Chains A and B, each alone.
Chain A
Amino acid sequence: MRSKALLLGLLCAVAAQTARAQPPAPVEIKIGALYASSGPYASISMPVAAGFRLWVDQTNANGGAEVKAFGKKIPIKLIAYDDQSSTATAATLYNQLITQDHVDLLIADSGSVLTSVGVPIAKEHKQFLFDVSGTGAAFFTDDNPYVALMADPVSTIWPHYISDFLADEGAKAGIKTVAILFSTNDFTGTQAAALKGFFEKDGKVKIVYYQGVPTTTSNYTVLINNIAALNPDAVLELGYVGNDIAFLRNLQDSGNQFRFVFSIYAGVEKEEIEKNVGVSALTHIYTYVPPSNYEYVPEVGMTQKEFHAAWDKKYPPGSKVTFGANAVYGYMTGLVVERALATAKSLDQMDIHDAVFALSGKLKTLDGTFVLRKDGAQIGEVTPLGQLQPEGKDDLTLVAVYPPDMANGKAVIGK
């Protein structure tokens, strides 16, 4: 009799302990995110937000995200605020999401500037920050486990293939001098500095022009003429969408021609740029080949073609958002969230951190291979060098030309 009572007591104790250790499953997983519907960062932020929302809607349509901590599917509730491209507003809203909405997962706004204010706030509140595309090197330090870059590599990795190409095939074609014109912000300034270092180290191509201009620059006519006066073989213009549109328009209007012209967003946001500058201004422009124009073989989530079709269905032509790399970045971040929830032991932020870092090197999506450095910086998901080449009468195709193992076409270098 006594032993039965003892056994019953033990069972009750174990049951109580289990009940304490396993909190009840929440009705929904709250994900907080910021976006900018207006201001200078709207053009990169809105496609990210739309891509992420597409993932949320798809997930909820399938009954929710698989959450290992509770052994079941739980619907996602997205709480998204508009920071209007203001860092001050963004800072307040990051706080709002953490302290008032008590979100389970926190997604940063797009780009380095609007992510920058979220990094110390997330660290202070010990909330893991899913940094979508804030590539600023200063965000990633060994003493901050509460941030990781999701969808594109840190700025220093982006331009590697440009310098490699010019030092290799460019040098063979007689390219000896280069002009670098860049917008002075974290994203493009860091790339310009990295390129300068690569060229100086290689010693095969000489920099004859190296100039930073404010990101607000909207007229490049004088700058293009200054560059033309130095007669460089290659011109690399590194700016945001608005900068690239202005530069490419002004370049065409000026009548100046260079053997090799590079622009970041000519390929990264091809549809948006093409809509604004036309096909002729983009022909033979070199650019990065983003995941929206390259067929990686995903092991998780949709392929690039499936995603593009889903995007066109949800955001038909004429919508405010256009398909491009940032759309993929938003969706890709959703995939990381999905896999993290499916493997994290609990919703504790350090468990989320561990789950995200455990995906490093293993997660292959339409954005390439997700690889994190120890400090949270993204070093996978590389961007091959490409060129916009004519396809038919009035169309352009983005061809990957370097590195050779990723190339699907041959570069055409001007005479």
Chain B
Amino acid sequence: MEIPYIVNARKDTGLNNSKIAIWLFLASEVMLFGGLFSSYIFLRIFADYPWPERVLPVLPGLVNTFILIASSVTVVFAWASLKLRNWKGFVGYMSFTIVCALVFMVLKGFEYNAKLHHQAIQYNDWTSIEGHTHPEEHGHGGNFYVIKAEEVNFDLGSYYNPYLDEIINRIGSVKTSVGKDVVINEFDGNKLIQNPLINAGDPINLEGSSDEEGSLRYVLALAKESYLETRKHNEQVKEASLRQAWKNVKSNADGRFNAVQEFTQYDQAKKDAAIEENAKILESGEYGTLVDNKGSFKLAVDGAEIKIKPSWGRMVGAKEGVDSSISLLDKTSIIGKAGDSGMDIDVDAVDHRHLVMKARDRKYSQAKIDEMIEDWYKSLGDSKGADQIRSYWEMHKKWRALWTEELKNEYGLDDDGEPNRVPTDIELYRMTWKNIVAYKEIEKDPELELTLENVKANLPSMIDGFLGANHSKFNVKDDDGHVIEKTRHFPLLHVARQDIKFESVFSPKMNNYYAIYFTVTGLHGLHVIGGALVLGYYLFFGYGMYKENPEWLANRVEVGGLFWHFVDLVWIFVFPIFYLM
């Protein structure tokens, strides 16, 4: 059957099939992105934390905007080339469009990668620091809950093998033994047969597989099987007993409900009777007896240091040396004394705005707010990194005093004698990585004074910070480009776990801003990929259609191009909203 109106327009609408279809689709896309943009607006208006305003590096967003605009121009040129029956022109313009899509996605990948490797830590007083954490090396670094374990309790119904493997790996060669007797239950009909498998105090081999007799995995596998069998048996006994109990009650054989008149009372009386009857049947053992079923296996560990990723569970008692426990998502619990769960971080930003916001909500005076900020710096202790960060803060305070004065001189005072322009909260309460670099450069050179000009002259350029804080730029390298020394522009801090209110990389978990940022840009990226696939199909497989009916291909490219322009149109809003506001 020939499908009508694939090239020529219907007389009544003046449109062909694909044209009307793409516009209906674009209408649904308007609703989709409209919904997401309105979510952004409401999330921002009602945010109860300082909105991360103008935090994304502008340059990658700007380059991507130029790339999409250029591709929008070339896609329409590709369509015009087809209309002029210029196949080579079409191939050239369409190839450029697809290369643009690829470059756009690669750049987006770099942006995402930079964010997912950038860490933020919020202290209990709401001060936040940002920076790069150290990967685990020679037993140090990384982001872990650390516990000197005395016992590990595995939940037999739900223990998860990757967690088990990690725990075994972390225990290593430390002495372990079985924490309590393990008995295996078997059932011959309703008859219970119990065989001891291993006794409390017995040593246990951690390394062996689940087929190796006497190994932890073997014992856990058998104990799990026994646990599940016993649970099944108990369920069967309970179900049969309850069925019989209700049967007895419903038959009303002893006429016990004859005197009950009220409907509601009758209902309750039946329930009570069923419970009573059930207890009697269970006691009689008519359908078997319930078997005591221990759902856990206890492993005694002689103080092994176990490290667990925070995303795997929750730690109670994080201060080093106190009684502590870690509960994993698979219900495994590790009990012992807390180890050093602190995080090492090269700090590239300090942000007090959340603290200030909370303090203002409580109507604290400015003097009190300043004192709270100073208290945070005092609380950092006396490490080299802490001294450095305090020194930066002193420089920042000088800089903001100079900047306040500069704004006053530049823009004057209003009728009430107040300055027309004052520094923003970001300038006052957030030391960015660019500030830190400038302060370090000034500190290094004894001839440089802290002035507005010198700070400005030493700020890293947009290229240096193409994807945000650039740590590797300042390392000392030899002639071959190998790092000889990591220059500490960015102070190294060790943050104790108990001081941390919240920590996260810059992922959707971080806050609503990053959640909506990743949602919108991720969805937009999927559209770029989808559009590039469709346009690529016309480029690589369209020649046959061009030979058969060039107008048909021109129509298809126009429709694909409409989608591509829409993708560009969405980005035209994404760029200023997420990168510049």
Our verdict on whether A and B bind, yes or no, reads no
Query: Which residues of B pack against A, CB within 8 Å?
Result: none
